[in-house]
Structure 1
Amino acid sequence: MEERITLKGSRDGLRLILHPTAAWEEVLEALRKQLAQGSSFYHGAKLLIDVGERSITDVELQAILAIMAEHDIEPAALITIAPTNRTTGRQAGVETRHPDSLRSTPPPVVQGEGLFLWRTVRSGQAIKHQGHVVVVGDVNAGAEISAHGSIIIWGRLRGSVHAGVGGNQQAIVCALELSPTLLRIADNLARTPDNHRPTGPEQASLDGDNIVVVPWDAPRR
């Protein structure tokens, strides 16, 4: 079954993408569950609400805004192609934007010790960096990232990652959906169990010689 909603990072901020044809109640329920699972993580954020070609009514938009308000989340803009949604957004006091207005993906930028990538890392690609790596996008299966520091994925992690190259045991790996093929921190290696089902944003770190996975907003040891 296709996902009713998708939450992913973009250069313009966190983006909520709605399924174009799913039943509205299913969309709302998926949004409730997603925000509840990462309540502290999303708290205070601003969301781009991307409805694409889907036409939504004032009542439907208000339902989304009400769920967001429960987690202190503000709408950044309503991203839409449908002309009728401009009126809906204006009546709700939400800026409307066309998808073409979103900023294009820039090339990788190294800032200090961090490498920032505003794109999806695809199968067959390998990223290596001596500092921290932040990816605003997904890391697909078959992709590899290695970093001497921590690895932060503002999206789905399904490829292989190695944080703490060289023995840095303080390094961590975080992702909105943590389902790596292989995960290594310093000299410790772990695989994602076949029955693993991500429940929200998660972080992996070392506890002694073991890699432990906890919610992203859990206190660090």
Structure 2
Amino acid sequence: MINNRNMQSVTIKGTKDGLTLHLDNSSSFEDIVAELKIKLATSYKAQKDEPQLSVNVHTGNRQFSQEEQEKLVSVIEGNHKLVVEKISSNVITLEEADQLLGKSEIKSLAGIVRSGQVLRVPGDLLLIGDVNPGGVIRAGGNVFVIGTIRGSVQAGCNGNEQAVVAGGAITSAQISIADVHITTVTAVPEDQLNLHCAYLDEDHHMQFDRVQVLKDIRPNLTRLEGGI
């Protein structure tokens, strides 16, 4: 027996790509299954010559177990010309949350990346130290080095073309942003105190400039008020 009044555990909406099923957050799984069977039997009973319809199921602010998902698929696809393409929710797993946190946080380290060392971070990196020749940095986000870059540095290694590389000095080094690589960089005078940066312009070309330009070319780089 369905406890929810007016049968609102399941809302079915037709789209140009098929059907979208929205499942009510407050309804029990048993009520959802019971109502789903009734609504599908009433409106989507399989006809001989009808083509299959794709179905996307949205479970709202909760995540069903693997067993419950399999039950939903069985009910939707059984005796109907319906195929479940995706089951999604507003909830993410702990593993997904950890991955998102890793990509969004700034990893801060102090030290020197020496020849033969490879430093990898999923998000942004702030290194207080130098990157020596033969040292390697690979970051999914931006790379900020308070020191001299003489080794190999790649920002946006997962394809983020908005990433930047900034250093106290960028001398003979290998700089990469996404899939654009510069193997030799013209030496910047060691006595020049201004920070320097590398970024990709609108034509997908790598440019080198003073770090002050970042506030204009990458306004979303930081949420801090004011600017550099």
TM range (shorter): 0.3 to 0.5
Provide the TM-score with structure 2 as the length reference. 0.45
Q: Which structure would you say has the larger Rg?
A: 2
